[in-house]
Structures are given as structure tokens and as C-alpha cells.
Amino acid sequence: MPDTLHQPEYRKDPLSDAWVVIAAERNGRPEEFQELPVHRVGGPCPFCVGNEAVTPQEIISYPAAAGDRPWKVRVVPNKFPALVRCADMQPALVSKTFKNGTPSLFTSLRGHGGHEVIIESSRHAVSLTDLDDEELTYTFQAYRDRMRCLASEGPWKYVQVFKNVGAAAGSSIEHAHSQVMGLPAVPIRVAEELAHTKSYFNVVGRRLFESMVEEELAQQSRVVDQSDDFIAVCPYASRFPYETWILPRVAAPRFETSGDALVASLGRFTATIVDRLERTLKRPAYNYLLHSAPFDRSADDHYQWHLELFPRVTKPAGFEWGTGYYINPVSPEQAAQALRSA
Ligand SMILES: [Zn+2]
Ligand SMILES: [Zn+2]
């Protein structure tokens, strides 16, 4: 494959204002759309210790002053980024005209973004539950530290942290890793949550997430687990079977302001919930993602960072794509009961 075919770009759907990333240099060959094997087939794993030269130059590794100690967690730029850093750091809007000065319907933005990979273990671990306590802590510290760092760089409005485990969850490398993407615009999913939490705050005078935690704890039927710092619930309108959200007990809009103790506690708690999922569903493919307030600080009063986790046991089909509604064959109350007893 040539080094650069096309620069990735954001394209806005004129019917919905949703942005799509066209990353044509990433995945162009038809054979790349065949089912990927879940397990590594031959060849060295690029993320295992000893193969550091295969990945791009490391951004940071943990523990910080490793000296002779081997690294436990490493952060590297994505070798095949969906978005690339532009030299001038400004996301230039490409406005075109159609004819006679009529603005074109087709708006695009250069595919400007930071795309990093967090390698969560030097061993060939696969799931979050394969990590030891130290690796868990460093992984969640890396989420926070990379968000802090990208926030201070300037051009990003939002950072998306996410993890794909298993081919059905979109992962092409088996070795445990997460991804971090700095984005020049606030994604539509986050914008929707911001709009709802803001209008709730304006009417009721408190954070929607605080009310949600209070009501879930009172009802108990969708609560999966609790710790001093977090509760895990199958949300009332779960889109997917066994979808589970992790909500902090103490409200804070931004994940990157979390202290070391809270970050370590989140790592352990998330692994506990993934373990419950894996016992219930025999190690399914899964995704999780962190939602946090954008960097512009206008959401400080009403938003609450949280983690959304879902196993990939159903596939959105025609109805879901057509309507935006999800048909979920397992009620969140049933799911929570199964996860509690796992
Ligand atoms: Zn490996
Ligand atoms: Zn969310």
C-alpha cells in the first residue's frame, strides 16, 4: 500500500449534520473487509515486549522513571491513524461553491486529529481482566494523562478514549490495547448528552447524572455492582443486551481532573464489571468508551463523565439503521440480575 493515498477528511452529512471520517488510506483493499481472525496467526505480536521497534516512536511509558525496570504500559502514535496531525494544527474548513456562487452542500474538514494507542501490558494479555493491578492502574492513568496532554495542546475540542476487544468489537490486534483520539469538533453523541443534561439542569437545578444515580440506587433492580467510588447499572433504556454504565458517586464533568486514587479505583472497578460480563457470556467481544465534558468548559455545571460498556452479542440491523431505535432482547433488569449473580 502506498504511504499516502489521501489525507483523511471529515465530511458532513447535509441531512443530519453528522460528521463522517473518510480515511481512505487506512482500509482500501477489498480483502481487508473479510472477517478478521480473533487470534493472532503467526508472526511476532507488534505490542509484545521486545518488538518495540515495530511501533512508532513511543510517546510515554509507565512506570514513569522506569530506568532498568521494564515498561508495563506504553503509549504510541497509531501506525495506521484514521486521523492525522496537520503541521499547522488548525482544522481548516474546506468550503466550496457549486455554481454561480451557490454554496456547495458538501462541506469537509481536513482529517485533523491525534490518534494514539495505549498498550496495556508487555505480556500478551487480551482482555482487561488479564491485566494485573499495576497494569490496570497505569492504563487508566494513561487515559487521564493523554486527555490532559491533548487538552493542553490547543486545537482539540474533545478527546475520545475507547477500547475494542475481539474481532466482533472492531479490534484487529489481539494484544490488550485502548485508543485515544483528539478531535477538532464535539461528537454528535456527546452533543446530545450535553443538550439534555443542560436543559435538565436549567429546569431541575441539579445534574441529571446525580438524579439518575439516586433513582437507580432507590430502585436497585438495574444496579450491577457498587464500590465506595462508583456504581454500575444496566441503563433504563439499554440499547444492547448487558449494556452497563459506570457512574462516579461524586459528580465531576471532566475525567482528566480525576486524582490518582480515583483513576486506580476506576481501573479495578471496570475490570470487576468486565469479569462479570465474561462469566455471564463466556468472554464476549466488547467495547467501552469514556464520555467526558468537552474542553471548552461551558459544560462544567451540568455534565458528568462516565464509562459506557457493552458486549457485542447482537448486531444492529435494518430496523436499527432505519430508525435509530434499538431492539434489545434482554431487559436491563434481567441483565443486571444475571451480572449480579455472576
Ligand atoms: Zn502481544
Ligand atoms: Zn455517554
Ligand 2 ion: Cβ-proximal residues, 5 Å cutoff: 291
How far away, in angstroms, is 264 Cα from ligand 1 center? 23
Residue range 20-71, pLDDT digits in tens: 888 876 555 555 555 444 455 556 899 999 999 999 999 999 997 666 678 9
Residue range 187-214, pLDDT digits in tens: 989 999 999 999 999 999 999 999 999 9
What's the pLDDT score for residue 309?
A: 98
* Ligand number, closest to the Cα atom of 247: 2
185's CB contacts (< 8 A; 6+ apart) are: 10, 19, 91, 109, 157, 158
Q: What is the pTM of this model?
A: 0.91
How far away, in angstroms, is 193 Cα from ligand 2 center? 7
Q: 177, 291, 302, 306: which one is catalytic?
A: 177
DSSP 22: E
How far away, in angstroms, is 246 Cα from ligand 2 center? 10
Residue 248, pLDDT above cutoff 80:
yes
What's the pLDDT score for residue 129?
A: 97
Give the distance from CA 23 to its chain's centroid.
18
- Using alpha carbons, list the distances in angstroms from residue 271 to 18, 173, 224, 230, 231: 33, 20, 13, 13, 13
Which residue from 151, 146, 173 is spatially nearest to 161, judged by alpha carbons?
146
293's CB contacts (< 8 A; 6+ apart) are: 194, 253, 254, 299, 300, 303, 305
Is 39 annotated in the active site?
no
Query: Sorting pLDDT into bands at 50, 70 and 90, what band is 155?
Result: confident
What's the pLDDT score for residue 89?
A: 57
What's the pLDDT score for residue 13?
A: 85
Percent of the chain with pLDDT over 70: 89
Residue 122, pLDDT above cutoff 70:
yes
Can you read off the three cell numbers belonging to residue 244?
452497563
* Ligand number, closest to the Cα atom of 175: 1
Lowest mean pLDDT among 95-104, 257-266, 296-305: 95-104
How far away, in angstroms, is 47 Cα from ligand 1 center? 5
Q: How many CA atoms lie within 13 A of 18 on its CB side?
A: 8
